[in-house]
A and B are shown apart, each in its own frame.
Chain A
Amino acid sequence: MIYTPSTLSIAIFLLFVGITLGISFHFGKRAKSSAGYFAAHGQIPWFVNGIAFAGDYLSAASFLGICGMISLYGYDGFLYSIGYLAGWIVALFVVAEPMKRLGKFTFADALDAKFQSRGIKLMVGISTLAVSLFYLIPQMVGAGALVRPLLGLPHWAGVLIVGTTVILIVVTAGMVSTTWVQFLKGSLLVVFSVVLTAFILNNGLKVRDGGLDGHHFSTITVDEGQAPQEALAAAGYEPIESSDKWSGFIRTTHSESGETITFKVVDDSTLTETQTLAVVDGKTIINGLPLGTGDGETQLHNVGWIASLPEGKTESGPLGPVEYFRTLEGSQVVTWPKVVIDDGDAGKTTVYHQATVAGSDLLRPGRHPSFAGLQEGNFVDRINFVSLMLALFCGTASLPHILIRYYTVKDEAAARKSTIVGIGAIGFFYILTLFMGLGAMTSGALDLTDENMAAPLLAKSIADWLFAVISAIAFTTVLGTVSGLILASAGAVTHDIISHALKVELSDGEKVRVAKIASVVVGAIAIVLGILFQGMNVNYLVGWAFSVAASANLPSLVMVLFWKGVTKQGIITAVTVGMVSSLTWILLSADTFQKVYGYTTHPGYVPFSQPGLVTIPLGFLTLVGVSLLTRRRSAEPTL
Chain B
Amino acid sequence: MSASKQRIGLALFAIYLVVYGGFVLLNAFAPDVMKLEPIAGVNLAVVYGFGLILSAFVLAVVYGFINRSVGATHANEAAQREIKS
Contact indicator A82/B53 (Cβ below 8 Å):
yes
Give the residue name and chain of the A residue nearest to B14 (CB). A93
Chain A residue numbers with a CB within 8 Å of B1 are 97, 412
User: Which of B42, B52, B64 meets A322, CB within 8 Å?
Assistant: B42
Chain A residue numbers with a CB within 8 Å of B34 are 364-365
Please provide the chain B residues from 45 to 66 with a CB less than 8 Å away from any CB of chain A in the complex.
Answer: 45-46, 49-50, 52-54, 56-57, 59-61, 63-64
Contact indicator B45/A94 (Cβ below 8 Å):
no
**Does any Cβ of B come within 8 Å of A53's Cβ?**
no
User: Which of A82, A386, A420 meets B25, CB within 8 Å?
Assistant: A386
Interchain nearest-CB distance for B12 vs A (Å): 6
Bound CA span A375–B29, Å: 9
**Does any Cβ of A come within 8 Å of B80's Cβ?**
no
**Does any Cβ of B come within 8 Å of A603's Cβ?**
no
Interchain nearest-CB distance for B54 vs A (Å): 7
Interchain nearest-CB distance for A562 vs B (Å): 9
Please provide the chain B residues from 17 to 54 with a CB less than 8 Å away from any CB of chain A in the complex.
Answer: 20, 23-25, 27-29, 31-32, 34-35, 37, 40-46, 49-50, 52-54
Give the residue name and chain of the A residue nearest to B39 (CB). A322
**Does any Cβ of B come within 8 Å of A470's Cβ?**
no
**Does any Cβ of B come within 8 Å of A264's Cβ?**
no
Contact indicator A393/B20 (Cβ below 8 Å):
yes
Chain B residue numbers with a CB within 8 Å of A393 are 20
Chain A residue numbers with a CB within 8 Å of B46 are 75, 325, 363, 434
Bound CA span A412–B71, Å: 5
Please provide the chain A residues from 557 to 592 with a CB less than 8 Å away from any CB of chain B in the complex.
Answer: none
**Does any Cβ of B come within 8 Å of A411's Cβ?**
yes
Interchain nearest-CB distance for B47 vs A (Å): 9
Chain B residue numbers with a CB within 8 Å of A364 are 27, 31, 34-35, 43-45
- Interface centre among A86, A374, A414, A417, by most chain B C-beta atoms within 10 angstroms, is A86
- Interface centre among A78, A81, A92, by most chain B C-beta atoms within 10 angstroms, is A92
Interchain nearest-CB distance for A78 vs B (Å): 6
Chain B residue numbers with a CB within 8 Å of A374 are 27-28, 31
Contact indicator A85/B56 (Cβ below 8 Å):
yes
Chain A residue numbers with a CB within 8 Å of B32 are 375
Interchain nearest-CB distance for A427 vs B (Å): 5
Contact indicator A93/B9 (Cβ below 8 Å):
yes
Bound CA span A90–B12, Å: 10
Bound CA span A393–B59, Å: 16
**Does any Cβ of B come within 8 Å of A424's Cβ?**
yes
**Does any Cβ of B come within 8 Å of A354's Cβ?**
no
* Number of residues on chain B facing chain A (CB within 8 A): 43
Contact indicator A416/B24 (Cβ below 8 Å):
no
**Does any Cβ of B come within 8 Å of A89's Cβ?**
yes
Interchain nearest-CB distance for A11 vs B (Å): 36
**Does any Cβ of A come within 8 Å of B83's Cβ?**
no
Please provide the chain A residues from 416 to 442 with a CB less than 8 Å away from any CB of chain B in the complex.
Answer: 416-417, 419-420, 423-424, 427, 430-431, 434
**Does any Cβ of B come within 8 Å of A532's Cβ?**
no
User: Which of A93, A326, A375 meets B31, CB within 8 Å?
Assistant: A375
Bound CA span A583–B64, Å: 36
**Does any Cβ of A come within 8 Å of B3's Cβ?**
no
Contact indicator B73/A92 (Cβ below 8 Å):
no
**Does any Cβ of B come within 8 Å of A366's Cβ?**
yes
Interchain nearest-CB distance for A240 vs B (Å): 41
User: Which of B24, B42, B64, B71 meets A329, CB within 8 Å?
Assistant: B42
Sorting the interface of chain A by its residue count into under 10, 10 to 19, 20 to 34 or 35 or more gives 35 or more
Bound CA span A325–B46, Å: 8
Q: With A363-B46, A411-B71, A434-B46 in contact, do A326 and B57 touch (Cβ < 8 Å)? A: no
Please provide the chain A residues from 23 to 66 with a CB less than 8 Å away from any CB of chain B in the complex.
Answer: none
Chain A residue numbers with a CB within 8 Å of B49 are 75, 78, 81-82, 434
Q: With A364-B45, A389-B24, A413-B70 in contact, do A86 and B52 touch (Cβ < 8 Å)? A: yes
Contact indicator A89/B56 (Cβ below 8 Å):
yes
Contact indicator B56/A86 (Cβ below 8 Å):
yes
User: Which of A88, A93, A412, A431 meets B70, CB within 8 Å?
Assistant: A412
Chain A residue numbers with a CB within 8 Å of B73 are 410-411, 413
Contact indicator A86/B16 (Cβ below 8 Å):
yes
Chain A residue numbers with a CB within 8 Å of B24 are 385-386, 389-390
**Does any Cβ of B come within 8 Å of A499's Cβ?**
no
Contact indicator B60/A419 (Cβ below 8 Å):
yes
Give the residue name and chain of the B residue nearest to A375 (CB). B31
Chain A residue numbers with a CB within 8 Å of B12 are 93
Type the 1/0 row for A397-411, where 1 means its CB is closer than 8 Å to any CB of B.
000000000000011
**Does any Cβ of B come within 8 Å of A360's Cβ?**
yes
Chain A residue numbers with a CB within 8 Å of B42 are 322, 325-326, 329
Bound CA span A419–B64, Å: 10
**Does any Cβ of B come within 8 Å of A185's Cβ?**
no
User: Which of B9, B16, B27, B63 meets A365, CB within 8 Å?
Assistant: B27
Q: With A88-B56, A89-B60, A413-B71 in contact, do A382 and B29 touch (Cβ < 8 Å)? A: yes
Interchain nearest-CB distance for A62 vs B (Å): 13
Interchain nearest-CB distance for B16 vs A (Å): 5
Contact indicator A329/B43 (Cβ below 8 Å):
yes
User: Which of B9, B25, B59, B72 meets A413, CB within 8 Å?
Assistant: B72
Q: With A329-B43, A431-B53 in contact, do A386 and B28 touch (Cβ < 8 Å)? A: yes
Chain A residue numbers with a CB within 8 Å of B29 are 382
Give the residue name and chain of the B residue nearest to A417 (CB). B64
Give the residue name and chain of the A residue nearest to B10 (CB). A93
Chain A residue numbers with a CB within 8 Å of B16 are 86, 89, 93
16 additional A-B residue pairs with CB within 8 Å, beyond A88-B56, A322-B40: A81-B53, A82-B52, A93-B63, A322-B41, A325-B41, A363-B43, A364-B43, A364-B44, A366-B31, A374-B28, A375-B32, A383-B28, A385-B24, A385-B27, A412-B1, A416-B67
User: B residues bordering A, Cβ < 8 Å?
Assistant: 1, 9-10, 12-13, 16, 20, 23-25, 27-29, 31-32, 34-35, 37, 40-46, 49-50, 52-54, 56-57, 59-61, 63-64, 67, 70-73, 78
Instruction: Jot down 11 A-B pairs with beta carbons below 8 A, ordered by A.
Output: A88-B60, A89-B56, A90-B13, A93-B9, A322-B42, A365-B31, A365-B45, A412-B70, A412-B71, A416-B67, A427-B56
User: A residues bordering B, Cβ < 8 Å?
Assistant: 75, 78-79, 81-82, 85-86, 88-90, 92-94, 97, 322, 325-326, 329, 360, 363-366, 374-375, 377, 382-383, 385-386, 389-390, 393, 410-417, 419-420, 423-424, 427, 430-431, 434
